[in-house]
């Protein structure tokens, strides 16, 4: 059986034979659990031969097949192997045994953005600006490949030891056709997480790269306010607020932060700052909120004091 449970592939491709032999469970010493999802468990593991650490995502084949999640697992593997950018979790290897699939990922030891916001209450401007810029830089890469994450939220944004973001969870990502502008919507049956879901997905079941820009607007708001822009006692009411674009800023909110959030939380995807029709990433990165950000030095800069 192939790792994804469908297609059969040679265990080891001839081109990679001697240097990168398929790894096996026995090659690792497994440590504590780092995270648990509905379909997987992520465990810290040390490769015995090299001493290198990985976050190994383990999926039960039986469960994946029973729950009809084979396409999701295939998609996650395919998308992760296309990504080559420091702000995404990296996929180093995959292997399987009779019961389980294993994805060897980079370790993001410093927790989730969601936890960090909870711990600090909210981010100061410097911290929110810095991490908004890292997310923008990551999305620029993702969207240049015509991939939409579709479930971007602080739970899926992890931190590594250097306190740089590591975006994860590509099981629900969507690859748009290569010739697609990325701005034109595609139908989708997947609905992400209530608080971050875009109005076009709720209204017309449509998705485009700008749907991730809506989520970005929600995340910048959440970093600065400490709460979601769209929150209600239940999902239905949350969706009503999203469809009406009904949210409020606290008093004395920073003017530039307010402006960038307003320009991202546009009901019409084509009107969102950063979409191709609104100047693309150049326009988004040039917004006054990002004044002082050195885009090519994001990776080498020290994290903000507040962290």
Give yes or no for residue 105 binding ligand ADE (CB under 6 A): yes
Q: Is 264 an interacting residue with respect to ligand ADE (CB under 6 A)? A: no
Q: Is 108 in the site for ligand ADE (CB under 6 A)?
A: yes
Q: How far is the CB of 161 from ligand ADE (least distance, A)?
A: 11
> Quick one: which of 64, 80, 107, 284 contacts ligand ADE (CB under 6 A)?
107
Between residue 19 and residue 78, which ones bind ligand ADE under the rule CB under 6 A? 34-35, 42, 55
Which region among 58-66, 92-100, 102-110, 203-211 touches ligand ADE (by CB under 6 A)? 102-110
Q: Is 220 in the site for ligand ADE (CB under 6 A)?
A: no
Nearer to ligand ADE (CB atom), residue 38 or residue 187 = 38
The piece of 78-86, 101-109, 219-227, 276-284 that touches ligand ADE (CB under 6 A) is 101-109
* Residue window 147-166: x/- pattern of binding to ligand ADE, with contact defined by CB under 6 A: -----------x--------
* Given 45, 64, 89, 173, the residue binding ligand ADE (CB under 6 A): 89
HEC per residue, the chain = CCCCCCCCCCCCCHHHCCCCCCCCHHHEEEEEEEEECCCCEEEEEEECCCCCEEEEEEEEHHHHHHCCCHHHHHHHHHHHHHCCCCCECCEEEEEECCCEEEEEECCCCCCEHHHHHHHHCCCCHHHHHHHHHHHHHHHHHHHHCCEECCCCCHHHEEECCCCCEEECCCCCCEECCCCCCCCCCEECCCCCCHHHCCHHHHHHCEECHHHHHHHHHHHHHHHHHCCCCCCCCCHHHHHHHHHCCCCCCCCCCCHHHHHHHHHHCCCCHHHCCCCHHHCHHHHHHCCHHHCCCCHHHCCCCCCCCCC
Q: Is 66 annotated as a binding residue?
A: no
User: Which residue numbers belong to the known binding site for ATP?
Assistant: 57
Binding site for ligand ADE (CB under 6 A): 34-35, 42, 55, 89, 105-108, 158, 168
């Amino acid at each position: 059986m192939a790792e994804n449970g469908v297609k059969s592939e040679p265990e080891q491709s001839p081109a990679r034979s001697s240097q990168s032999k398929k790894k096996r469970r026995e090659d690792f010493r497994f440590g504590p659990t780092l995270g648990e999802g509905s379909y997987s468990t992520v465990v810290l593991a040390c490769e015995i031969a090299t001493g290198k650490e990985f976050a190994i995502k383990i999926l039960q084949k039986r469960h994946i097949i029973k729950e009809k999640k084979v396409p999701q697992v295939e998609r996650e593997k395919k998308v992760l192997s296309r990504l080559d950018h420091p702000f995404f979790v990296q996929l180093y290897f995959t292997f399987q045994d009779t019961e389980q699939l294993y994805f060897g990922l980079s370790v993001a030891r410093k927790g989730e953005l969601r936890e960090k916001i909870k711990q600090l209450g909210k981010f100061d401007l410097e911290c929110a600006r810095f991490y908004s810029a890292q997310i923008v830089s990551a999305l620029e890469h993702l969207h240049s490949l015509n991939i939409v994450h579709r479930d971007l939220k602080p739970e899926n944004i992890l931190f590594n030891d250097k306190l740089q973001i590591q975006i994860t969870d590509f099981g629900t990502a969507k690859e748009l056709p290569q010739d697609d502008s990325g701005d034109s919507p595609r139908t989708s049956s997947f609905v992400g997480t209530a608080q971050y879901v875009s109005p076009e997905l709720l209204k017309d079941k449509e998705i485009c790269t700008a749907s991730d820009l809506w989520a970005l607007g929600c995340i910048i708001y959440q970093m600065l306010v400490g709460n979601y822009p769209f929150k209600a006692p239940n999902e239905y009411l949350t969706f009503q607020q999203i469809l009406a674009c009904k949210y409020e800023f606290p008093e004395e909110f920073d003017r530039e932060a307010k402006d960038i959030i307003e320009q991202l939380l546009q009901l019409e995807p084509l009107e969102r700052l950063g979409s191709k029709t609104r100047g693309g990433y150049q326009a988004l990165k040039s917004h006054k909120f990002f004044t002082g950000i050195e885009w090519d030095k994001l990776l080498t800069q020290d994290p903000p004091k507040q962290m």
